[in-house]
Amino acid sequence: MNDDSTQRFTDRVADYVKFRPGYPREIVTFLHSNCGLAPGAKVADIGAGTGISARLFLDAGHPVVAVEPNQAMRAAADAWLGDYPSYSSVAGTAESTSLGSASVDLVVAAQAFHWFDPLAARREFARILTPRGLIALMWNSRLLDGTPFLAGYEALLRRFSDDYLSVSGRYADDASMAAWFGDGLAHTARMPNAQKLDFEGLKGRLMSSSYAPKVGHPNHEPMLAALSDLFDRTAQNGTIEFVYETRVYVGCRKHGR
């Protein structure tokens, strides 16, 4: 991972655990039915964070090793998932996982790939994957408009966050994924996803983002005031709908050699 990206979420772990969205269970079905992932295949979740994506695969019967460099996030994942007998975790990065060569059948990175060094990660993924192993990269991409709340939230981030645009500009799109996988890109999918949040949930979701100004920043209190106003104007029955499109890109290791 790049620069201080491995530490960006250290003091946001509690909000991340409580307020970040999960991933559609249909992702695993898609990988089984469309991509040839075998039941029980071993998964390495790279940049696993607090374990949200790891749990998706554990619940589907896959053994998972969570690779996470941030100690606070890894500890949260261990506390949440430690009762799964097929779960383990290691301190490692996308560029240096510490895993054995040809030791996993699927490499997953969920909401994390944009923090990686893409060339070094590609080499490392190719090293740890079995010869027919797969790579699945996925994001919960927040919709930027379509409802007054979604448009207002995007405007709020642009107004109050100093580095929102620089972080969001790192997110992969179809073209960058096609370039990264090359002729190894085999499957793509888009799936709807959403959260219903009351104001405390919305506030926690905002503060789980690495670009949200923290307590003590001059933009923090004005941002929360604007968030409260946005919620009051757009909530229905005490909640707003935080809408995502989950994007999944799946390919083989050949382009990573």
- Over residues 215-253, the pLDDT tens digits come to 999 999 999 999 999 999 999 999 999 999 999 999 986
pLDDT-based confidence at 19, cuts 50/70/90? confident
Mean pLDDT of all residues in the chain? 91
pLDDT of 253 reads 67
Chain CA centroid to CA 78, Å:
17
- Is it the case that residue 255 has pLDDT exceeding 50? no
Which of 48-57, 89-98, 165-174 is predicted least confidently? 165-174
Q: Yes or no: say if 44 and 99 are a contact pair by the CB < 8 Å rule.
A: yes
Q: By C-alpha distance, which of 28, 60, 6 is closest to 136? A: 28
Q: Which pLDDT value is given to residue 11? A: 55
Q: Does this model's pTM top 0.75?
A: yes
Residue 182 scores a pLDDT above 50: yes
Architecture of the 5-142+168-193+245-256 domain: 3-Layer(aba) Sandwich (3.40)
pLDDT over 50 at 2, yes or no: no
Give the residue extent of every domain in the chain. 5-142+168-193+245-256
- Is pLDDT of 63 > 70? yes
Secondary structure tally for the chain: helices H, strands E: 10, 7
For 135-163, how does the pLDDT look when each residue is reduced to its tens digit (9 = 90+)? Answer: 999 999 999 999 999 999 999 999 999 88
pLDDT for position 136: 98
Confidence tier at 169 by pLDDT (50, 70, 90): low
Note the pLDDT of residue 20: 87
The band of 6, judged by pLDDT with boundaries at 50, 70 and 90, is very low
Amino acid at 120: A
Spatial separation of the C-alpha atoms in residues 51 and 17, rounded to whole Å: 9
- Mean pLDDT, residues 58-87: 96
The better pLDDT of the pair 9, 97 is held by 97
Strand 87-90's sheet: what is its strand order? 87-90, 64-67, 43-46, 104-110, 129-142, 240-252, 185-197
What SS3 class is residue 105?
Answer: strand
Do residues 191 and 24 make contact, with C-beta atoms less than 8 angstroms apart?
A: yes
Indicate whether 51 pLDDT > 50: yes
